[in-house]
Amino acid sequence: MPDQSVKLIGRIPWLMANVDRKKPWLVGVSGGADSVALLHLLVAAGFHEVVVCHLDHGLRGRTSTEDAKFVKRLATALGLKFESERADVKLRMAAKSESLETAARNLRHLFFSRSMAATKYYLLIMRRIRRRPFCGICCGVRMVLKECTACKH
């Protein structure tokens, strides 16, 4: 029986785009089904120089901590590097007068930026929220379908 992930990869336009799979990539993984599936698809598609990034928003107590542990085990099992931080979303909400969603998103973007700087990896893949499918390749927060030449890393 053929590998189903290979069939699926052929149906995802940005994954089949002329993208250098040997370049370094950061992948945002929450531990949910969508981001875990994305990570498995990337590995199946030949992306091996990957750092798995997980931000524990600290909003669900022990469950948040367990998600972070799961993502770390997954990255290790796939032979990938792992970066993680824990954020205090409620503190940011109070300090910046932001909604829960805005504070969480801003903290996530800051975490991704720090991870890109720390690892010297400049390309980020993540699942877009807001009822849209996978966003494709992001450089920082800007969406691109090729390597971003504006990046200074």
**Radius of gyration of the CA atoms of the chain, in A:** 16
How confident is the model over 130-140, as pLDDT tens digits? 444 334 444 33
Spatial separation of the C-alpha atoms in residues 55 and 86, rounded to whole Å: 6
Q: Where are the domains of the chain?
A: 4-144
Task: Spell out a b/e string for 111-145, using b for 16 or more CB atoms within 10 Å of the CB, else e.
Answer: bbeebbeeeebbbbbbbeeeeeebbbbbbbeeebe
Whether 109 contacts 102, CB under 8 Å = no
pTM: 0.74
Report residue 82's pLDDT band, with 50, 70 and 90 as the boundaries: very high
Return the CATH number of the domain spanning residue range 4-144: 3.40.50.620
